[in-house]
Structure 1
Amino acid sequence: MTFSDPSVRRRDLATIGAAVVALPLVGPAASPAAAAPTGRLRLRPDPGGVGGSVDVALTPDPQVAARGAVLRTAEQRTDRFALLGVTWAAGAGQAEVRVRVRGAGGWGPWRDVPALRDLPDPGTTEARAARAGTAPLWVGDSDGVQVEVTGAVERPVLTLVDPGDHPGDHPGDHPGDPVDARPKRHRSLRPRIRSRRAWGAKERWATGRPKRVKTVEQVHVHHTATGNDYRKRDVPRILRAIYRYHTKTLGWSDVGYNYFVDRFGRIWAGRRGADGDRDTRGAHTLGFNHTSVGIAVLGSYQEAAPAPKVLAGVAKVAAWKLRKYHRDPLGSTAVLSHGSDLYPPGTVVTLPVIDGHRDTNDTECPGQYLYDALPEIRLRTARRIKKSRR
């Protein structure tokens, strides 16, 4: 076989031992006509949103896909986008991408796109509607993409998202920031939370009625496995892009996490209910969403340590929620699994009240450094609760 891509790596041949196919992107799943005559892939404006997106069908040779081979697209010029992901109808696979960052003058290195492990519980409406695939990957403003998919997957689709620009993306940290500061119960522990409106959530994209949890036994800590060099002004854009991917690409009813904490320690409302005092069931920890709150730290902490202000932000949310339900942040609790890739449905598991995503699912999340910081988060949480009782 002749390889048409000169950048094929030795790993492709020695480890995979299968054909590598270089194919152009064939156009959006909904309409092959979206590619511009000049060859640039066009994003369509999101109705009612400030950004745009496109879903691009990747069409490998079925015989090649059945062998678990590699599909590699050609380098593709695009409109501006900042987040991407790959999904498929059935099967199992992995994806790598490289992008051309705007103004950087060339193509970046190949990057793994983490597998999607932050999931709704089995049997829920969200789980029945969801596609398999990768987590959303924030790559920053880019105008070119190349993607490689490994595995026997059916009908893979590449999604590109441009979250656009919103007037509220540059609020700074002054007292006039759009945050939820309404008086609530447990006000002494309620942290300052930037609302969904602050990051520009388009509420019509959220579907169905949020389901409340009866109790909160745990706080699950996650990371979004994206870069750590984003600026404050980027955070609302990142949240809008994740929200679009979760709702429009994966078919979920809302963004999966209850809360976000950025690398500056700021807390952002995620799923509906986070703006107020409702504890709604998320789609963040497969099998364990029904009695928990999910907090995602924006960034990747497998090879970098979180700043103290990140730990403080997570502890603020954890203390607020755990005190309300009289939970000990330094303790453990017996929880019933609804079915994860580590614990079958019906299994009773004893886990820390504040745990990392990897404690319940087969994943590196929340990254080794953030996972190693969980004892510090537990101590900070306990101190806040103790102080509030004086």
Structure 2
Amino acid sequence: MRVSFASSIAATCAAVLVLPASPAAPAAASVFPTAAALPPAPDLPGATQSLPLVPLGTATRAPGGARAGEQGLTRRDVRPFSLVGVVWDDPTVPLHGTVQVRTRATGDGAWSDWQDVETHNEDHGADPDSAEGSARALRGSTAPLWVGDSDGVEIRVRGAELLPAGLRLELVDPGEDPADGPEAAAPRIRGAVAPAAAGATGANDRLAPYGQAWIPALSKEETEITFRTTPGQEAVQSAAAQPYIGPRPKIITRKGWGADERIRETGFVYTKTIKTAFVHHSATGNNYTCSQAPSVLRSIYRYHVKSSGWRDIGYNFAVDKCGNIYEGRAGGVAKPVRGAHTLGFNNDSTGIAVLGTFTSTNPPAAVLTAVARLTAWKLGLHGVNPKGTAYLVSGGGNLYKKGTKVRFNTIAGHRDGFATECPGGRLYDKLGTARTSSANYQGRS
């Protein structure tokens, strides 16, 4: 079992304890195929098992003459994991069909019902003309699904058209939670610090002590003082008579949620400014506790980097269902880090992912409060009114051709820039409330 966070829903920590993954169940104890042929799990905080899918049943003719069929894996034992997804070779080829999985819990050995995996994930990712968007390592991918501690899996992929080549099941183990609790007064530095970890932590050096697991909240007055004395804010200050900026919320850092800085690409990529905040849902399901949110984040991070081929986690920020805010892509929470969250509109924007699925489930009030507080601060750093609008230029997508100038609300939903259900109808319908609250936090009437 993984080390859980303290009972506080806002639990964070200051150092990472690396433990090996638990061994798979002995082959003799199961009637299902085992993972014995897989290479041993690496001694890292997290691991990914990648299993090629095979044909199931008999292929049939689909409308239009293309061959459709079913691929998957029958029930089998695998090493422990908590998140699943499916990837394929060509990121430009969509998966038209359904993906369903069922998993076996490590605690009681019970198998879940079939669960749907969201197949439309091509709306996330880096812009096509960016270095990240044209990387050779990119793969097509479904959204990831959080299933909790599991050691058995079965999957079926049914296509209405020809299935993409190279379908693989990705099983992600998020690794152990960071060891130190949120009450640790000072970071514990154990030996030499890896350059990537030092870089990610140092990007927030003006906001919190080195190695801190969270960036502390500030009052509005304290935030305005910090804003006035921060280099690089002169242009924003001259554009407004007063700094309309909300109080800085508490933000759990990458150190706090246990990001393994060794797996991402080194360095950071920035855009010019932030004009719009795009709100997403992670589509990973709602079956997690808030103490598990760091594990969910580590899983998404590993899936984005190791399975999908992105340089880092795609989102700039994440919010769990208890309203805790997390640093996403590395580079500094106060800086205009370019993410890979809204394909075609990653320039001059920031991406906020609410952990969960809100197609038919209402987001908790704590989520809307967190989104409002975060945007009041983040947009305020760039002189942006949360109730206003801004223009962004499309980098290419299925709603707007490359080069199209598009007007967005400054707090927009993912579906505003791409034909997708994200962030789910129930969350999207609440964005008006978030805009009003965010403007109020900034001190706007």
Same-fold status (TM-score > 0.5): yes
The residue aligned with 1:80 is: 80
Shift of 1:56: 0.8
Match of 1:314 in 2: 371
Q: 1:92 aligns with which of 88, 91, 94?
A: 94
Residue 214 of structure 1 aligns with which residue?
272
Residues 136-183 of structure 1 deviation map (CA, whole Å, 9 limit, x = unaligned): 111111121111123321011111011122244x84689888212398
- Sequence identity (%): 40
1:301-331 CA distances to partner (integer Å, 9 max, x unpaired)? Answer: 1111111111111111111121122222112
User: 2:393 aligned with 1:336, yes or no?
Assistant: yes
* Shift of residue 59, structure 1, vs aligned partner: 3.4
Q: 1:228 pairs with 274, 286, 303, which one? A: 286
Residues matched between the structures, number: 353
Question: Is 349-358 or 37-46 further displaced after alignment?
Answer: 37-46
Aligned twin of 1:301:
358
Runs of 5+ consecutive residues of structure 1 not aligned to the other structure:
1-33
Q: State the match for 2:152 in structure 1.
A: 144
Where in structure 2 are the equivalents of 1:1-390 lying within 5 Å? Answer: 38=28, 39-41=33-35, 47=42, 49-60=44-55, 64=59, 67-90=67-90, 91-93=93-95, 94=97, 95-114=99-118, 115-116=120-121, 117-129=123-135, 130-151=138-159, 152-168=163-179, 171=181, 178-181=213-216, 184-185=226-227, 189-274=247-332, 276-386=333-443
Q: Is the 8 A contact 1:45 1:51 kept in 2?
A: no
- Of 328-337 and 285-294, more deviation after overlay is shown by 328-337
Aligned position for 1:12: none
Aligned to 1:22: none
Judged with a 3 Å threshold, the aligned counterparts in structure 2 of structure 1 residues 45 and 236 are, in CA distance, closer, same or farther, namely: farther
Task: Describe the superposition over 1:164-222 as per-residue Cα deviations: whole angstroms up to 9, x where unpaired.
Answer: 22244x84689888212398537963211100001111111110421111011110000
CA contact (8 A) 2:395 2:401 kept: yes
| Structure 2 gap segments, 5+ residues each | 1-23, 61-65, 187-211, 218-222, 229-244
Structure-2 separation of matches of 1:222 and 1:110:
25
Closer, same or farther: CA 229–37 of 1 in aligned 2, 3 Å: closer
- Normalized against structure 2, the TM-score is what? 0.73
* C-alpha RMSD over aligned residues: 2.8
Q: 1:358 to 1:175 in 2, by over 3 A?
A: farther
3-state secondary structure, aligned to 1:92 = coil
Q: Answer 1 or 2: higher relative contact order, Cα 8 Å, separation at least 6.
A: 2
What amino acid is the match of 1:149?
Answer: V
- Aligned residue identity for 1:181: P
What does the per-residue CA deviation read over 1:260-284, in whole Å, with 9 as the maximum and x for residues that have no partner? 011110100010024x422210000
CA contact (8 A) 2:246 2:376 kept: no
Question: 2:85·2:169 contact (CA, 8 Å) conserved in 1?
Answer: yes
> TM-score when scaled to structure 1?
0.83
